[in-house]
Amino acid sequence: MSNLKDLRGSSAIVGVGTFGNGESPGFTDMELLARSAHAAVADAGLKMSDIDGLCSASIGASMWTMPVIEYLGLNPRYIDGTMVGGSSFIAHLLPAMRAIRSGQCSAVLVCYGSAQRTSPVGRREIGQLRRLVDPQPYEYPYEPVLPASAYALAASRHMHEFGTTREQMADVAVAARAWARLNPEAFMRDPLTRDDVLRARMVSDPLTVRDCCLVTAGGGAYVMVSAERAKSLPKKPIYVLGNATAVWNRQISSMRDLTVTSAKQSGAGAFAMAGMKPNDIDLLQLYDAFTINTILFLEDLGFCPKGEGGRFVENGSIAPGGKLPVNTNGGGLSCTHPGMYGIFALIEAVRQLRGEAGERQVKGAKTALAHGNGGTLSSQSTAILGTEETV
């Protein structure tokens, strides 16, 4: 009987790539994906013909891995189209590690692209279509704006139970913007204050538009190979030390406790596999679809006690120069959010651990946690990454 711990550090991310972040008028989802995939494969020092494993997911196309394989001219022996929303590309890690360990494949490409901001098909049309093909008959009749209203409900409960304030949530957005100002790839880089967030247009109380992630275009991709093979490739390998995924519900109305997400389970699983604790982590990339997410995940992943997340993020403590670096690319709030953000959290963790993060580089970072969220606090996937000395 094999143990998940046996997989710790068995695979490494050896290539990452992004393309078209922000505005990319005239590009399709697939074109953004393909450019990102090409960049990641080149970064790995490989050719597209070396890729024999493929993972991808799409919000729109339910058979998405097939057109991706066709478009890139691949013949993969390992295919994973698992779609659990924005966390999918982090959830793709562990099964791919198993596939590499077993010899089923040797080089896995995980890739994503979305033209959400600039697509000729608007979000309103997609929303109407979704009501038909993916109905939620016990929520849609009440006309929530999903996903925002679901996160707003969670925020209302966190405020009620723990005294979390709108100001504390605003500080999450302010910290993300401060990091984005150090990242030339970030989409929004103007200064942002707490008051700017509080006075922005209210979307679904208590969340203003500045508590909500961006709507951008963009693509992202990464390449993973065995730890042995990684040593022969040009870039500093970043090892996967732990990964776990959890789903407790789909609908926000089916979530048992709106202040506790299944990140509690995915985080515990990833830490157990890595044999590590929150104290061992140098920097975090948390899927900040909304400001409340960062607070919930800091708690559920064990970086502060339940209910303390609001106080934890106050006054620049997760901003550049603060006590814990969180979302160093600017996150979904200020860097990029083309429909699903998870892969970008992982890519930023890799860039930080490689020492490639320029002005926003966290000095001497050896370990990172990248956390994905999907749906309406529905799926959670946690990855722990490290440099060679942590394996």
Partner 1 sequence: MSEPKGVEAFHQLELNAGHFLIQRCTDCTGHVYFPREVCPHCGGTSLEWIAPKGTGTVYAVTTVRRKAGDGGDINVSLVDLDEGVRLMSRIDSPVSNATKIGQRVKSRVQVNDGKGLVVFDAMQGGAL
> Which residues of this chain interact with partner 1, rule CB under 8 A?
137-139, 141-145, 149, 152-154, 156-157, 160, 201-206, 251-254, 258
Cβ-based nearer residue to partner 1, 249 or 361: 249
Tell me how far, at minimum, the Cβ of 143 lies from partner 1, in Å.
Answer: 6
Residue partners of 184: CB distance under 8 A and separation at least 6? 358
d(CA 133, CA 152): 25
Tell me how far, at minimum, the Cβ of 205 lies from partner 1, in Å.
Answer: 5
Tell me how far, at minimum, the Cβ of 162 lies from partner 1, in Å.
Answer: 12
Residue partners of 363: CB distance under 8 A and separation at least 6? none
Tell me how far, at minimum, the Cβ of 141 lies from partner 1, in Å.
Answer: 5
Tell me how far, at minimum, the Cβ of 47 lies from partner 1, in Å.
Answer: 48
Cβ-based nearer residue to partner 1, 90 or 295: 295
Q: Pick from 96, 148, 165, 377: which is nearest to 264 by CA?
A: 377
Cβ-based nearer residue to partner 1, 158 or 371: 158
Instruction: Provide the CA 379 distance to its chain's centre, in angstroms.
Output: 11
Tell me how far, at minimum, the Cβ of 160 lies from partner 1, in Å.
Answer: 4
Q: Pick from 248, 297, 29, 252: which is nearest to 147 by CA?
A: 252
Classify the phi-psi angles of 377: left when phi > 0, otherwise alpha if psi is within -120 to 50, otherwise beta.
left
Residue partners of 137: CB distance under 8 A and separation at least 6? none
Cβ-based nearer residue to partner 1, 99 or 207: 207
Cβ-based nearer residue to partner 1, 143 or 190: 143
d(CA 159, CA 333): 20
Cβ-based nearer residue to partner 1, 66 or 209: 209
Q: Where are the beta strands (DSSP E) in the chain?
A: 11-22, 53-56, 78-80, 107-114, 202-204, 207-208, 217-226, 238-247, 283-286, 367-374, 379-386
Contact criterion met (CB below 8 Å) for 160 and 273: no
Structure tokens at 265: 């389970």
Cβ-based nearer residue to partner 1, 204 or 390: 204
Tell me how far, at minimum, the Cβ of 246 lies from partner 1, in Å.
Answer: 17
Which CA distances in Å does 326 have to 114, 312, 377?
Answer: 24, 12, 19
Cβ-based nearer residue to partner 1, 104 or 251: 251
Tell me how far, at minimum, the Cβ of 154 lies from partner 1, in Å.
Answer: 7
